[in-house]
Structure 1
Amino acid sequence: MNEDPGRDVEQEEEELFEHYRFKVDPGQELVRIDKYLIDRLPNTSRNKIQSAARNGSVVVNGKSVKSNYKVKPKDEVAIVLPYPVREIELIPQNIPLDIIYEDDQLIVINKPADMVVHPGYGNYTGTLVNALVYHFDNLPERKSDYYGRPGLVHRLDKHTTGIMVVAKTEDALTNLAKQFYDRTTERRYHALVWGDVEEDMRIEGNLGRSFQNRKVMTVFPEGDHGKHAVTHVKVLKRFGLVTLVECKLETGRTHQIRTHLKWKGHPLFHDLEYGGDRIVRGTTHDKYKQFIHNCFELIPGQALHAKSLGFQHPKTHEWMQFDSELPQGFQELLNKWERYVTE
């Protein structure tokens, strides 16, 4: 699995870690598994493999093993590793961060709207990673096992707000990557969508790049293309022409919530890429058009907020649960619709 230099910055979460699998040759001599893997994995150090083993990410015949395990002929070997980050110079920038929690292993932040997560083509500065590099460089005390750069295990789109966890150490990065890969984390989002969502639903449909426009994703219901994706949708509040819903991710694909809900006829309100930035429901009266225009002015893009995140702490193994308030623009948007429906 080689990195595609032309890939979008806001890539799918599950591309942030790689899953390798090997069937050991019948004539293989006994050798430590870290030695066996380092000879077969590109751009990987023994430290990374040993860290993966410590965190249960090296599996032989269905069971986690330590790095000193001796590989035997016909063993089934699997390993999950954090995806190698692009070699881009990370420029520290003093950008304010909304820090919810921080310790020597990880940091949990509340990402604002209109902020790209990682530097890439067209966005080399002003990103969340630039801000984190500055923050880490200026901590009064930094542990010796610091990873050297913010360890990303998941991402949020530029205009999506809310909770993200970032690793500080190699072990934390490997451990969290495995949790996201194994889907043992809990992620819930709040979204305002066009239309009256009739009932709670489970949306299942493969997601992949659109053949017409490579910048957006589309659903392939027959399953011939794309990757398996599941979103659980729960209705929170109805406003007639729009609905506030909660989305629980079972998988983490690029633009998953945005694409799945558009497919079901409910594009996210003010989604610039998936048709939510025009009047999808309602009248053509000038007064209504002005109301919608005023609503659009409150948020820079799609009305989507990563409301809560739960995961197991990589060192203490304690279950960590974080929740965040809706950003001001999103809350004002809901208040506006509340008044519109009432009046």
Structure 2
Amino acid sequence: MKRFFAILILSLAMTALCATTIYDIQYTTNAGPDGTYPSPMEGQDVTVTGIVTGANYDQDNKFFMSDPEGGAWHGIYVYDYTVGPVLGDEVEVTGTVTEYYGLTELGYCTVNILSSGNPVPAPSVVSTLNLVVPAQAEPYEGCLVEVQNVEVTEAQDEFGQWYVDDGSGECQVDDEFFYLDSVTPPIIITVGMTWDIIRGCLDYSYDEYGINPRTPEDLIEVADAPNNTISSVSEFTGCYPNPFNPETTAYFNLAQDCNLELSVYNIKGEKVRTLVSEELTAGEHHILWNGKDDQNKSVSSGIYFMFAESNSIDFTSIKKVILIK
């Protein structure tokens, strides 16, 4: 009997080691005849598991998934509209590796949801140029990506596409998850508009890679006003990125000089870190939290609350942040 269990455990271990990953499907150095870097497993039937990083693509339940570690070559698009998983679901997908006009996808699928509420892999921070040149962009096809400090160079066209540039070269942003004019208030894209962060899932269509923000929260506009503009109302704008790993920044605009305390609390209501407790001048302030407590020890993943308070101007505000590891 012991020998039977030993063989069974060894067999299960070997199965796990030999399981196909998204990385196995995506990674290639062969540009192929049309320069779109087709999967080395094109045409094969595979079974993979991963975490949903983008749900309801094309507003029709299709989705993107990633190996749990995230990063280059670890994401893929799933062409299936029958199940409709949500962000953070762990799914098992059995399907055929297909190249759809240069986009590697899993088609003819069966999808099983294994668990829900899992940490979503952090986006890969890239330059806009990284998403233009195929040799640089292909590793991020199907992945969750993020560009920072970009300016709109072309307004949204009739197909929902617009372009941004961080100074390295412009890349496309698209609206396959939601229409910008369908939210309240509607998002109007104009040339010269600036964004601190744009994140989304990267697809490939009509010979271009495009970032597809999943919700309005993936479009983070903090840098649209001149530096140190003084607001008439004190405001805790938010924390970005969020979710984050390993650090996030709290953004404030103070209407007047004040003594401000900004602290971090865990979900139990215990204070884990005091980030600032001092007199601050009126204007914009960016305060970094590196995911560590007052003893300089890294805190565990989970939900935390940034609590800002100033008795001198009767100001309090709380923002929720999520640390993922």
| Larger relative helix fraction | 1
Q: TM-score, normalised by structure 1?
A: 0.28
> Which of 1 and 2 has higher RCO (CA within 8 Å, sep 6+)?
1
| Larger relative strand fraction | 2
Q: TM-score, normalised by structure 2?
A: 0.29
